[in-house]
Each structure stands twice: as C-alpha cells, then as structure tokens.
Amino acid sequence: GINAEYGPKIKGIEKSTIHNICSGQVIVTLATAVKELVENSIDANATSLTITFKEYGAKSIEVSDNGKGISEENFIGLTLKHHTSKIHVFDDISDVSTFGFRGEALSSLCALGNLSVVTSTGGLGTHLAYDKNGKITESNYHARPQGTTVTIENLFHSLPVR
C-alpha cells in the first residue's frame, strides 16, 4: 500500500517479472535475437546456416544450421537461465573461445516469444517446444539431418510497449 507520508512500500518483484525484464535487456531487438542464434550456430561448428523471417520477423524467425546438433542430455538445460556448457566457475571465463557462454540467450527468447527447436546429432532428430520459463512442453521424434533449427514466434509479444 501507499503511506501518504512516505510513499509506496518497497517490496520484492516476482521472479517471473524479473525474468521478463531481464530478458528484455538481453534480447533488445530483432537483430539481437538473430545475432544470438547465429552465434549459437557458429559455436556448434556449422558451415552452413539459413535465416528465415516471416512477416519481417514479426511472426517468426528461424535459424537452421548443419552444426553438431544438441545431445539429448542437454535438452532440459538448453533454455534454462544461466545454464551453459562453457563455464562453471568465474575463472573459466578466461578460457572461453566461443561467442556464447553465459546461458542467457535461449532462456530470454523463451520469455519473449514462443521457442521451438528441432535438432539431430546425426540420427533421428527431436522436436522440442519450450514454455516461457524454458521448460520443455513438447518432445517428439522428427526427421532432420544433423544440425539444429531454432524457431522463435511472436518475439516481444510479452513485453508492453512504452
């Protein structure tokens, strides 16, 4: 409530609200979203990638590559905030030789749009859909050559316009 003499009471912000606000600071534009996905492809040793926009990116952005693919053991942690295979302690940062290492981009994309992944490490692929918190909501087999396709639909739909 508001105390007329001292102003509104200071209180903590809900965890989901914090996630949405912080995600909007990691992915600030359509270009930032594409940059993060392209860097993931490069980090996966892709030699070819395709970027597809629907309605100039307003409806969807898709980045598809021929990289290593994502192993099943990484499906759960893939989109969770601050989950990464690159560092585990602060001192590891000096040895990072990839673009991405903080584990924020895919988590932020989940919070800001509808994210799905189709990936294969060489065998039968897997289609994964994630909720706004980066939790898997759907997982099924999907034909795909080695590599990964990340699709983000309705990017920024969860953020109010100021």
Rounded to whole angstroms, the Cα distance separating 21 from 108 reads 9
Whether pLDDT at 17 is above 70: no
- Tokens 């993931």, residue? 40
Instruction: Give the chain's mean pLDDT.
Output: 81
Q: What is the pTM of this model?
A: 0.77
Please report the pLDDT score of residue 23 as a whole number: 47
Residue among 130, 108, 109, 131 at smallest CA distance from 119: 130
The per-residue pLDDT for 77 is: 87
Say how far apart CA 114 and CA 54 lie, in whole Å. Answer: 14
Instruction: Say if residue 119's pLDDT is above 90.
Output: yes
SS3 44: coil
Taking only the tens place, the pLDDT of each residue in 83-114 is 555 555 665 456 655 555 455 788 889 988 99
**Residue 5's pLDDT band (boundaries 50, 70, 90)?**
confident
38-54 pLDDT per residue, tens: 988 998 999 999 999 99
Label the pairing between strands 136-142 and 125-130. Answer: antiparallel
pLDDT of residue 100: 57
Return the ∠ at Cα 58 (arms to 101 and 160), rounded to 5°. Answer: 80
115 pLDDT above the threshold of 90:
yes
Nearest to 37 by CA among 21, 22, 53: 53
Question: Mean pLDDT over residues 45-72, rounded?
Answer: 95
Q: How confident is the model at residue 10 (pLDDT cuts 50, 70, 90)?
A: low
DSSP strands (E only) in the chain? 2-3, 7-8, 49-54, 60-65, 114-120, 125-130, 136-142, 147-153
Contact 26, 102 (CB under 8 A): no
